[in-house]
Amino acid sequence: MEQKINKMREEILNAIQTADTLVELDEVRVKTLGKSGSITAQMKELGSLSVEERKSAGQLLNVFKTEVATAIETKKAELEEKELNERLKSEMVDVTLPVRPQVNMGRIHPVAQVMEEMLSIFAQMGFDLAEGPDIEDDFHNFEALNIPPSHPARQMQATFFMENTVDKVLRTQTSGVQIRTMENKKPPIKIVAPGRTYRRDYDMTHTPMFHQIEGLVIDTETNLAHLKTTLVEFMKLFFETDDVSLRFRPSYFPFTEPSYEADVGCSRENGEFKIKSGAGWCELLGCGMVHPNVLKNCGLDPDVYQGFAFGCGIDRFAMLKYGIPDLRSFFDADMRWIKHYGFLPLDIPTNTSGLSLNGGLKR
Ligand code: DAH
């Protein structure tokens, strides 16, 4: 038996060592330790031996069996590692390679792009991001903003009411996020809140769903000069020119006192719209100092705190910056339009790499 085992050992260990793949190795296992394998056959033969012979041969055979099983396991681990390394090598991606611009790549919608541009600027100015729900309750959309049920200002905004409820509306403005923020956070507050807003309106400059961005700053000494500086600096960065002048016209919003509409200096020469001072004016946004009633409604003492707020249409900013004439086309899902006005996904606006002028890839 010993001789036989020695002969088998040489052959089997050699077969294990020279196996190149896991499949080949498994074949060796089946041929030796499998049900009809050579070692299993030897084990079966033990029965025909005398008691004495069976004892010593059985011991030898068991040691041999373990030796073969261990050799297979060791080789298996080795082959598995080899195969893994080969796979990793073949699947490796060099992330440092420059990206190939793809003509048929999808486009980022101008509204999404402009929202990113605006948030990037406000983030740099130290504003936090705040959000509120599209389906808003009467308190946050109207009441707390100093617009009680009988107030004529409710008619200024053609509201979509939710069916079967008097309390829920599709928010007509992002101003409700001011309330939600002041309810949950003590001043100093410095937030911007972008999002969808809804009104029953439809013409060249109005769509039933549109986008606004709201700004709110509350502290003990926040004043009109801060409001003006914030807006002027924002406009310079957004329109990528230093030639920005703002005009504040007295206006009325229930939630601010005093209230203003801000216009930006612009020109329309040869059909081209440009932001520049000294020519005409273009209406941009609403703003003002937060009304004491609004502060009170949020549990803030108007004798201690004051602040400013502003709200503007993101779509309008996109139209002005990128020369898009009709707001309705924003929501037509027309591939030709999005190819023309959209942005490549890699053209991500940042303050350091540039918003639109100095960005990487152009549309
Ligand atoms: N919510 C106003 C609107 O939709 C815009 C607005 C005006 C927001 C003045 C403000 C503000 O925060 O202070 O017409």
The CB of 309 under 6 Å from ligand 1? The reply is yes
Could you tell me the pLDDT band of residue 154, with boundaries at 50, 70 and 90? confident
Note the Cα 338 to chain centre separation in Å. Answer: 20
pLDDT tens string 53-67:
899 899 999 999 999
Could you tell me the pLDDT band of residue 244, with boundaries at 50, 70 and 90? very high
The CB of 305 under 6 Å from ligand 1? The reply is no
CA distance 121 to 128: 11
Domain ranges of the chain: 2-90, 106-350
Please give the number of the atom of ligand 1 that sits closest to the Cα of 172.
Answer: 4
- In testing the pocket of ligand 1, which one of 127, 218, 255 has its CB within 8 Å of the most ligand atoms? 255
Residues 6+ apart with CB under 8 A from 340: 363
Bridge partners (DSSP) listed for residue 191: 128, 216
Main-chain dihedrals φ then ψ at residue 311, nearest 5 degrees: -145, 135
Bridge partners (DSSP) listed for residue 218: 189, 307
pLDDT tens string 97-151:
887 776 677 899 999 999 999 999 999 999 999 999 999 999 999 999 999 988 8
What's the CATH number of domain 106-350, 1.10.490.20, 2.60.120.380, 3.30.930.10, 3.40.50.620? 3.30.930.10
pTM: 0.73
The CB of 359 under 6 Å from ligand 1? The reply is no
